[in-house]
Amino acid sequence: MHASTCRIRFLLVIIALGVCLSQPGFAAIQPVDEGWQYRWGDSPFLPDGTPLWILEDSPQHWHDIGFPSNPPGRDGREHAWFRVQLPEGSWYQPVLYVYSVDIIVQAWFRGELLYQYGTFDQEGRGRFEGWPWHEIRLPEDYQGETLYFRIFSNYTDIGLWGEVGITDHADLTVYLLGGAAEELVVSALSALIAFLALVFAVIQRGQRSFASIALFSFLTSVMLLAESQASLLIAYKPLLWDYLAAGSYYLIPMALALLLRQWLGAARPVLISWLVWIHLGLAVSALALALVGAVDLSSTFPVFDVLLLVSLVVMAGAVLPRFRVLFGEQQVLVVACGGLAVLLIVDMAVAHGFLPWGRVPVSWGALGFSLAVVSISVWHYGKTQKELQQLNVRLEQKVRERTARAESLAEREVARARLLALESKKSQKLADVIAALQDCAGIEEAFEPLLRAMPELYLPMTGCFYRRGIDGQYDRVVHWGGTPEDVFPASLGANLSVLTETVLPVRSYDLPAQMCFFLRIESARSGNRPEGVLMLERPDLPPVVKDYGIARVISWVYQSVEKIGITLSGLALRAELQRFSYEDSLTGLKNRRYFDELFRHEREVSARSDRPLCLLIFDIDHFKQFNDCHGHEAGDQALRMVGDVLATCFRGSDTVCRYGGEEFAVLMPGASLDEARQRAEQLRAAISAEPVEHRGENLGSLTISAGIACWRENCPEFDELFRAADQALYQAKETGRNRVVAATL
């Protein structure tokens, strides 16, 4: 199964698990949605601290309300009382669950303070201390009794919010986890995407959108986790979680503006850039003022919500006219961001009472963005790895076919007594040969033990083995049995069409006097031509086993040649894969992985031998502009040209690598700083003199900026060698480009 398919299935399992956990039914809850009454103002208190309103019987002052939130006629009032007669129910450890309260609350039951969240001063006021869910433990005989709520709020909303219900204490945690499972799963997925995008941003420094995607996914992950009710099960710090939710919520428009600014490129409106700084300033100032106590954190939300609406309108106005010119993956991300923005607006409308309360699936918007990023990443990964995967699939298919054919032949064979001992001995020898071949590093090394073992493998049949040389001729390299000069020629030439390959099945009556087996190795060198030819004389067996024995012997020989070919093909593939892992496919130069390993090795060698080690780092000036102007195919041609020039400007002992993108690195062991500078100047001149030609068109020449550092001449510390060369490169860019700059002590 392909790696991309496994990733997609894994993500689908996670999403399905989150959806299943978020479905109702994990814990029962009895809604308390009838019989609510409200009363504006705050109650007088008796000397013992008991509110007068819970003792007096004054129904004319209480008014019915469908849900204890935002009664009519507020007119700036900050105090309100609510009461409800608790319904009948059968619970083991009954608790009253409240989704949220604006902003601090007391619960009175039977003349006693049953629950309090927040601190009430002598005037009945208090500061915002967070928006947690509330669990109010009820006595077992609560049925039919009246529960009073005293609430203070200087926020836009006043009263209970969301949902109110009775359940068992043990079931409440399950209910909260079931309701928050969706947010937790999507939060974890967004955090994973943020981490992967951050890794890509570090690896591919020229792709700034990865950093913005990482920021957006991280903020979304924090917001979903902080706003989920399960966060208080992790740590009961309501105000801390509200600060995290507010900070991430306030910065999400900044991340969106950063993404749009990068995607729109030179066509981005100036207002998009201003939105980045406006939202960053608002987030920092709001959180700072709330932390020092100048304002309540709750009072900053309405201001931000208004700004968010304006910002989303501005962003939509900037991106929609240019939507068609964006890349396909950018269009997908814009649509995903738009879906999340719509859900945020709906959630905002619910929070401010413009829409009736309900759970707005903001996490689905984040999930849509996450899936869009994952889908695009998987698509890009599959595209870049397609050629290698196809090569692996073809080889695996051929190995399976040949193995199946060999096993099928082995299953049909029935040994006879006179051939069992010989076949067992030959098979053991073949297994030893295969094991020895598998321990070899390459094809050439493997042929040495193979040629030594061939006589023992195929005796008593007289034979010889021909191997294809560099000139394409098949020359005899080993022989055994009778006199080869009298039986087999010394060379087969380059044309094998005159030979008839012995294939299965065989019959004794039409078997030629000389049998021919082609040793095929699947490698770039061999192509469709056999790597070697095994010639054997027809075996001379007793008549009693002639028909069966010849078929069995020839089958074993054919099978052994197949197994040897498969083993050598595996060695060739391993060598090719190793070469691919250390080479850049575009330029043919060594890649960054090879450079990093060689750099550590050369550092140790130079330290032991006390010989100098020079490092040259350069990149192509204004290469992005070249790509944007002439296209990526022309850019690839330019990189190939640079790779060809590099091959002619340095010694054989120097190592030239494509470090990434348009950046290259050259490691020069034993070279002095002057020698390195001279070679760098030669390289700079050679590249500037070489025009870039693409599809018959001269696209002009390129220039490079280079930095040099040499241990110990201008970099006494090995660990600083790369950084010194990189800083020298940066200085070359800052001072006008198209130059070579050496690091300074």
pLDDT of res. 151: 94
Cα 382 from Cα 101, distance rounded (Å): 50
At residue 97, the 3 state secondary structure works out as strand
Cα 485 from Cα 496, distance rounded (Å): 19
pLDDT at position 54 over 80:
yes
Single-letter residue type at 76:
G
Hey, how many other C-beta atoms are within 10 angstroms of the C-beta on 380? 11
DSSP string computed for 234-297: H---HHHHHHHHHHHHHHHHHHHHHHHHHHHGGG--HHHHHHHHHHHHHHHHHHHHHHTTSS-H
Cα 493 from Cα 471, distance rounded (Å): 10
Mean pLDDT of the chain: 80
Cα 574 from Cα 579, distance rounded (Å): 9
**Gyration radius (Cα) of the chain, Å:** 39
Predicted TM-score (pTM) of the model is 0.47
Single-letter residue type at 394:
R
Per-residue three-class SS string for 215-244: HHHHHHHHHHHHHCCCHHHHCCCHHHHHHH
Name the residue among 364, 270, 365, 352 with its Cα closest to residue 309: 352
Q: What is the mean pLDDT of residues 570-591?
A: 73
pLDDT of res. 473: 87
pLDDT of res. 741: 92
Percent above pLDDT 70 for the chain? 82
Per-residue three-class SS string for 357-415: CCCCCHHHHHHHHHHHHHHHHHHHHHHHCHHHHHHHHHHHHHHHHHHHHHHHHHHHCCC
What are the structure tokens assigned to 259, written together?
């993404």
pLDDT of res. 16: 44
The β-bridge relationship of strands 697-701 and 691-694 is antiparallel
Q: What is the mean pLDDT of residues 263-290?
A: 76
Q: How confident is the model at residue 254 (pLDDT cuts 50, 70, 90)?
A: confident
Q: How confident is the model at residue 227 (pLDDT cuts 50, 70, 90)?
A: confident
Candidate from 156-160, 226-230, 297-301, 663-667 with smallest mean pLDDT: 297-301
Q: What is the mean pLDDT of residues 544-563?
A: 75
pLDDT at position 51 over 90:
yes
Percent above pLDDT 90 for the chain? 17
Beta bridge partners of 474: 468, 493
